[in-house]
Chain A
Amino acid sequence: MIATLRAPGLVRGFAFLLLGIVFCAALSIGIRAAYGYDPTIDSESILQISMIGAPLFFLVGIGAFDYWFYWAAGKPTRPEDHSSHGAKSWRDYFKVNTDHKVIGIQYIVTSFFFMFLGGLMAMLMRAELAAPGRQFVNADTFNGLFSMHASLMIFLFIIPVFAGIANYVIPLMIGAPDMAFPRLNALSFWMLPIAGIMMLASVLAPGGSFASGWTAYAPLSIDAPIGQSFFTIGVQFAGASSIATALNFLVTIITMRAPGMSFFRMPLLVWANFSTSLLVVIATPFIAASQFFVLLDRGLGFNFFQTAGDAGGNVLMYQHVFWFYSHPAVYIMMLPGFGIVSEILAVKARKPIFGYRMMAFSLLAIVLLGFTVWAHHMFVSGMQDWIRVPMMLTTAIIAVPTGIKIFSWLATLWRGVLKMDTPMLFALGFVTMFTLGGISGVMLALVPLDIYVSDTYFIVAHIHYVLFGGSVFTIFAGVYFWFPKMTGRMYNERLGKIHFWSTFVFFNATFAPMHLIGVEGMPRRVADYAEQFATWNVIISFASFGLGLSALIFLYNVVTSWRTGPKAVANPWRSLTLEWQVSSPPPVFNFDAIPTVVGGPYEYGVPGAVHGVLKDTEAPTPVGSSVGSVASSTGGH
């Protein structure tokens, strides 16, 4: 017992968590007593301080800081034995682990866990909305459901699952043994479940969960019950995790590429991740700031956003700071998907990516333009009039680099040899559905139309065509594509195809009609609606239940294939990129010897083309050798 408590792990983590709560309670009581505030023991104050402090204790408890503490205390550290690398049993996934492949799996599984919960909340909402009037939940619960649905899907699913896929794949793709900062990588992951569990726990808060939307607009979020704080503080942990990971990716990609891997020999997923990480490190501090403002207003009466009397706050400032992150966040949630689709289309169409350099430059163009458009979320917010026109222009112009990408994907398909398996189906589903989301995005950029459809179901339709038809389709595509590499087993192709078609059909049946009811005038974020929208809403609800069930096919396929699927060979897709040149799953340190990159990543159709060679004894010969070199190592464990 004592030994378990002393060893880093979940047990010590929870012990420290309790310790943290006691410490925070003492802090609250001590300060209140010193100031003579009444009552001295204020449960909300204790809860609020605990939410900030106790998770830090938990992180210390599970051992995220052990190495640094050893070092600081002058004790012998364990720098080079890599004892915390690799996973030998499922239990290792519940510990602090510094192996990027373990962390990648931790990320992906955790974020899918929150995806299923977020999806369940969507099902509850659709059940409530199946008919006008009140069915199952009251207005308070309903507002909590859509707030939590969006928060979980954005901060705990789409953003981290891309970080998870990249965590697993990027070091392999660039020929690196791990990420640049493995311990920071582990710390980044462990902040994620904290954020998610905190947001979920808000349902237990007195006064209900946070219910001011994922946007948490002030002053509604300032006056809301304590449940709001679970979002305000939860976002800080998700954001810190995101920033630290992005920094890690940037350093890894800049400094740890294999010899010969110039920037323009990087696979496009690496480019996409590089661009995303730039967005994250620049933009994410802004949402942290916006939520700190809210926290200070709520907890300490700072009046950033309080206007009553002569408080002097400014409500619109919240929206400016919030959207300065949250618009780039849309690209944070989309660019990695662009990368995944580029990988899959090239491999599955057996052709080089059409216009590789423009594909890379268009990513950077989106990064740059992404910072100039935030106020298009505020066309009806009452901000100064003149800024609307330049924001309309920059917003619409993003369609140009995005269009370059879509047309280049189409040209990649043309005259290829298309292998129509599950990853390819999802990638093609993405290309078509994302185009629709992009088109409605251009519509929304145009101020006069936006004035009318803002805050209606048209927005709900648009965001889901971008984030579901866009991001989630690429996530499914990527998970199927790299499933053999990550698990060493093949998924069930037939179930995969059923999953795709049911998702594709029910996705459209759910979200396409929302365009219509939005333009007809149905506002979003309402538990009740006018009789005229009843027919479409019941259709949408049933379609959404179908969409929910289709996700279970995926779950079943993944679980059974992971346990009993046929063993995967090193390179089942005949891909050229480096991650496929090692065994499935890869060895603990990825490569026995750092590979040398000798050509582009997508030279399909070029006889004898090679992207990288794994044994530096073999001289790179452009002609004659077989496609992709032999895996240099087999058997990871």
Chain B
Amino acid sequence: MGEHRNRATAKRDVPVMVAIGLIASLAGIALGLAIDWFPEQASKQAEPIDTLWDVLIIVSVPIFVIVCCVVGYSVFRFRQQPGEEELDGPSIHGSTKLEVIWTAIPAVIIAALVVYAWGVLRDIEKAPAQANTEMKVVVHGVQFAWTFEYPGLGTGGKPIKSDQLYVPQGTSVKFLVKSEDVLHDFWVPAWRMKIDAVPGITTSYRVTPTKLGSYPVVCAELCGLGHAFMRQTAHVLTDIGFTNWVSRKNMAAKAPAAAAGGDAGAGGGGATAAIDAKKLFAEGNGTATACGACHTLAAAGTTGSTGPDLTKALATATKDDIREDIVDPQKEIAKGFAGGIMPPNYGDTLSAAEISALVDYIYDDAHAG
């Protein structure tokens, strides 16, 4: 940094800066487009949204680069040198021409982006050409689980209910989202779309899944203690696979209580022997949230404090009490804890055998000491 550089000649400054800016912008855009930002693109709606993102990267990077270039270049070129402590800059008060330019150009860019985004919005919310080909799924959010209901697909026009989401590939699905307690938000990141589940009203969006596979269903709106654990799975099946799933569901509905009623009172029969109750308690079964996420149980080594400490709280409970606590948790609320927190659907998300295994396991631990 030699002596005073000549402050007056700023002729070369602008071309040099433009050159630096162009190179930095191109590098920035290349980097921005090279990064693998999104999760898998698994719906028709995902494509235009991901493209919008790419366009935004291309528009945004040069704007950021302009700001950084001017700041960086000014610091490099115009910083106060020794001996300039009393020096002032030129008294430039403004330039109407420049101000018009930097009002008008951003306004045009903004207007163009908004028009484009509106087009994308219409695109992703468009109903299919034949409305009758669209499938409807009612999504119920409760603290802290989703239930999916398929109107009209059951035997005799009844709805099918499921704790996992199954949809056929390539069909437009309209989700009607409801909540029974607080706000939730039904989101499958791979499909991009998202909407709150609002008590009192039904919200909706549509998605056409394009890729087979299993994707996480996430609750995206803070809904209380178990919010982080309100996760299920969406399965995209082929048309045939989906039809098979529907008929399997209907078969199961026809011969229902056989399993459930059968071993309810049987206690630790053969059916429960194969189930690892400790693992079930501590980690869940992939559908039902693990008991240990909220409850302490000495034998399972869990330390949750959202719900009562089961080792202590159930010392005098009978097996039937424990079973009732699992399938109908709101019936009796432990002192010092709020109601409405434990998912009410363990009767659905756990098999009868799993419930029996858990009852025995918890009972043994609670009565051990």
**Interface positions of A (Cβ within 8 A of B):** 138-140, 143, 206-207, 211-213, 217, 219-220, 223, 225, 307-308, 313-316, 349-352, 354-358, 380-382, 385, 388-389, 392-393, 396-397, 399-400, 403-404, 406-408, 410-411, 413-420, 428, 431-432, 435-436, 439, 442-443, 445-449, 451-452, 454-456, 516, 519-521, 523, 525-530, 603-606, 609
0/1 string, B310-333, CB within 8 A of A gives 1 = 000000000000000000000000
Complex Cα–Cα for A167 and B306 (A):
45
Q: B118 contacts which of A212, A389, A419, A527 (Cβ < 8 Å)?
A: A389
Complex Cα–Cα for A167 and B118 (A):
44
Q: A432 contacts which of B35, B67, B187, B227 (Cβ < 8 Å)?
A: B67
Q: Which residues of the other chain, A, contact B7 by a CB distance below 8 angstroms?
A: 415, 417
The answer on a CB contact under 8 Å between B92 and A432 is: no
0/1 string, B94-107, CB within 8 A of A gives 1 = 11001100110011
Q: Is B33 an interface residue (CB 8 A)?
A: no
Q: B196 contacts which of A349, A380, A516, A519 (Cβ < 8 Å)?
A: A380
Q: Is B265 an interface residue (CB 8 A)?
A: no
Q: Is B153 an interface residue (CB 8 A)?
A: no
Q: Which residues of the other chain, B, contact A139 by a CB distance below 8 angstroms?
A: 225-229, 293-294, 306
Q: B223 contacts which of A220, A385, A389, A431 (Cβ < 8 Å)?
A: A220
The answer on a CB contact under 8 Å between B120 and A448 is: yes
Nearest-CB residue, chain B, relative to A357: B94
Q: Which residues of the other chain, A, contact B280 by a CB distance below 8 angstroms?
A: none
- CB-defined A-B contacts under 8 Å, sample of 6: A212-B222, A219-B182, A307-B199, A315-B183, A417-B7, A447-B117
The answer on a CB contact under 8 Å between A350 and B221 is: no
Q: Is B252 an interface residue (CB 8 A)?
A: no
Interface of B is mostly: mixed
Complex Cα–Cα for A506 and B311 (A):
45
Which of B82-90, B132-140, B342-350, B352-360 has 4 or more CB atoms under 8 Å from chain A?
Answer: B82-90
The answer on a CB contact under 8 Å between B223 and A523 is: no
Distance in Å: Cβ of B58 to nearest Cβ of chain A:
12
Q: Which residues of the other chain, A, contact B68 by a CB distance below 8 angstroms?
A: 432, 435
The answer on a CB contact under 8 Å between B78 and A403 is: no
Q: B200 contacts which of A220, A313, A446 (Cβ < 8 Å)?
A: A313
The answer on a CB contact under 8 Å between A435 and B90 is: no
Complex Cα–Cα for A221 and B5 (A):
63
Among B10, B124, B196, residue most surrounded by chain A Cβ atoms (within 10 Å) = B196
User: Known: A138-B304, A526-B227. Is A355-B99 also a contact (CB below 8 A)?
Assistant: yes
Q: Which residues of the other chain, A, contact B102 by a CB distance below 8 angstroms?
A: 403-404, 407
Distance in Å: Cβ of A106 to nearest Cβ of chain B:
34
Q: A527 contacts which of B53, B200, B228 (Cβ < 8 Å)?
A: B228
Complex Cα–Cα for A588 and B294 (A):
59
Q: Which residues of the other chain, B, contact A448 by a CB distance below 8 angstroms?
A: 48-49, 52, 117, 120-121, 124
Q: Which residues of the other chain, A, contact B106 by a CB distance below 8 angstroms?
A: 399-400, 403
Q: Is B74 an interface residue (CB 8 A)?
A: yes
User: Known: A393-B114, A455-B185. Is A435-B91 also a contact (CB below 8 A)?
Assistant: no
Among A358, A418, A605, residue most surrounded by chain B Cβ atoms (within 10 Å) = A418
The answer on a CB contact under 8 Å between A220 and B222 is: yes
Q: A417 contacts which of B84, B185, B222 (Cβ < 8 Å)?
A: B84
The answer on a CB contact under 8 Å between A447 and B53 is: no
Q: Which residues of the other chain, B, contact A609 by a CB distance below 8 angstroms?
A: 91
The answer on a CB contact under 8 Å between A223 and B338 is: yes
Complex Cα–Cα for A67 and B336 (A):
47
The answer on a CB contact under 8 Å between A399 and B39 is: no
Complex Cα–Cα for A351 and B117 (A):
40
Complex Cα–Cα for A356 and B181 (A):
53
Distance in Å: Cβ of B360 to nearest Cβ of chain A:
26
Q: Which residues of the other chain, A, contact B121 by a CB distance below 8 angstroms?
A: 388-389, 447-448
Nearest-CB residue, chain B, relative to A213: B222
The answer on a CB contact under 8 Å between A380 and B195 is: yes
The answer on a CB contact under 8 Å between B93 and A449 is: no
Q: Which residues of the other chain, B, contact A454 by a CB distance below 8 angstroms?
A: 185, 194, 220
List 15 additional contacts besides A403-B103, A417-B84; criterion CB under 8 Å: A219-B183, A223-B181, A351-B89, A354-B92, A358-B99, A382-B195, A389-B121, A392-B118, A410-B74, A413-B71, A415-B90, A416-B89, A418-B78, A442-B113, A451-B193
Nearest-CB residue, chain A, relative to B228: A526
Distance in Å: Cβ of B279 to nearest Cβ of chain A:
16
Complex Cα–Cα for A606 and B226 (A):
64
The answer on a CB contact under 8 Å between B222 and A525 is: yes
Of residues 56 to 73 in B, which have CB atoms within 8 Å of A's CB atoms? 56, 60, 63-64, 67-68, 70-71
Q: Which residues of the other chain, B, contact A388 by a CB distance below 8 angstroms?
A: 121
0/1 string, B215-254, CB within 8 A of A gives 1 = 0101111111111110000000000000000000000000
Q: Which residues of the other chain, B, contact A523 by a CB distance below 8 angstroms?
A: 187, 218-220
Complex Cα–Cα for A436 and B107 (A):
18
User: Known: A403-B102, A432-B68, A439-B63. Is A521-B218 also a contact (CB below 8 A)?
Assistant: yes
The answer on a CB contact under 8 Å between B196 and A381 is: yes
The answer on a CB contact under 8 Å between B110 and A400 is: yes
Complex Cα–Cα for A382 and B183 (A):
11
0/1 string, B174-216, CB within 8 A of A gives 1 = 0001000111010101001111101111010000000000001
Distance in Å: Cβ of A220 to nearest Cβ of chain B:
4
The answer on a CB contact under 8 Å between B225 and A417 is: no
Nearest-CB residue, chain B, relative to A351: B89
The answer on a CB contact under 8 Å between B114 and A225 is: no
Q: Which residues of the other chain, A, contact B94 by a CB distance below 8 angstroms?
A: 354-358, 408, 411
User: Known: A399-B110, A415-B7. Is A382-B201 also a contact (CB below 8 A)?
Assistant: yes
Distance in Å: Cβ of A140 to nearest Cβ of chain B:
5
